[in-house]
Structure 1
Amino acid sequence: MSRVSAARRGRFARLGAVMAIAVVAGLGATSSAHAAAGPLAQAIADGKHMFIHDTFGGRGMTCESCHRAAGMGPTVVHGRHFPSLANAAAIFPRYNPRAHKVITLEDQIRGCVARGLGGKPPAGGSKAMADMVAYLTSLSQGKPIAMGAKPR
């Protein structure tokens, strides 16, 4: 056998070893991703439950009082139009002319709970806020990112 063939075999052997390690590492990452699906699915379910049932200590209203069908479609309540939240996560951050600043989805949730429901919003970074954001983000699954766009 020539020296070139032995050198090639050595390179292919090293390449094969690197690929095998990458495949094994990739399988571990896939397992971690599947493990995250359980907690993420639970956060979405908890957020939806809050959206439908929690008054946040306010006037007895919930998010669904205005955003009917769990936020999935536009509604009219007492003559007032409320948008679907199906693209809510896809349009933030966005400029809020009333606040004269760019706001995040968390800011919007806090504002709706405080002003719309008269309640105490979940604290930023709390599990409750993460669950609400997870639920609203799940409604935007597959929607194009359009920061600053209008709710649909």
Structure 2
Amino acid sequence: MNVKLQVTTCIRLLAGVLVLGLWAPNVLAKVPDPLHAAVQRGSHIFATDTFGGRGMTCQSCHSGGGRIAGQLANGSKIPSLSNAAAIFPRYSPRAGKVITLEDQVRACITGALGGKPPEYGSRKLTDLVSYLTFLSNGKPIDIGGKPK
């Protein structure tokens, strides 16, 4: 990895930590304890779990815990996940069908991370979706809309 990319990655991660540290406690204070716990577990999974894949985590591409724009391993830019839960379900031309947020999370884990996705209905998938939904808190519902 070149020095410029390392510095850019460090800046993105620091920005994400600052945003999460300053914003999340105020919003999470209003969330019931079991949901708060699911969001916290989901955040931890997002940042640390490789799902048995190629050593990458969700945060490897989705910078700042998904709150800021990210970058794929090939250098392609990707939007933040700040409205992810607000735009699903949506039509996926690649899949040729309407998909849910759970479908998208599982596809990303399989494809981008090369891992084994959590089963539908599992606590791990529920925690990840709880975290992504938390990121979308306050965003207008825009089913089928574009990521921002």
Q: TM-score range by the shorter chain?
A: 0.7 to 0.9
1:99 CA drift (Å): 0.6
- When normalised by structure 1's length, the TM-score is 0.75
Q: C-alpha distance in 2, partners of 1:91/1:107? A: 13
Q: Deviations over 1:37-81 (max 9, x none)?
A: 111000000000000000000000000000010000112344211
**RMSD, aligned CA:** 1.4
Cα offset, 1:82, TM superposition:
1.5
Give aligned pairs, total: 118
Partner of 2:97: 101
Q: How far is 1:83 from its partner?
A: 1.3
TM-score, length-scaled by structure 2: 0.77
1:55-70, aligned counterparts within 5 Å?
55-70=50-65
CA distance in 1, matches of 2:71, 2:128: 22
Q: Look at both structures and tell me which one has the larger radius of gyration over its CA atoms.
A: 1
* Counterpart Cα distance in 2 of 1:93 and 1:71: 19
- Structure 1: any 5+ residue segments left out of the alignment? 1-35
Equivalent runs, 1:104-115 vs 2, <5 Å: 104-115=100-111
Q: Secondary structure at the match of 1:112?
A: helix
Structure number having the greater helix percentage:
1
Say whether 1:83 aligns with 2:79. yes
- Cross-structure match for 1:74: 69
* Percent pairwise identity: 58
What residue number does 2:40 align with?
45
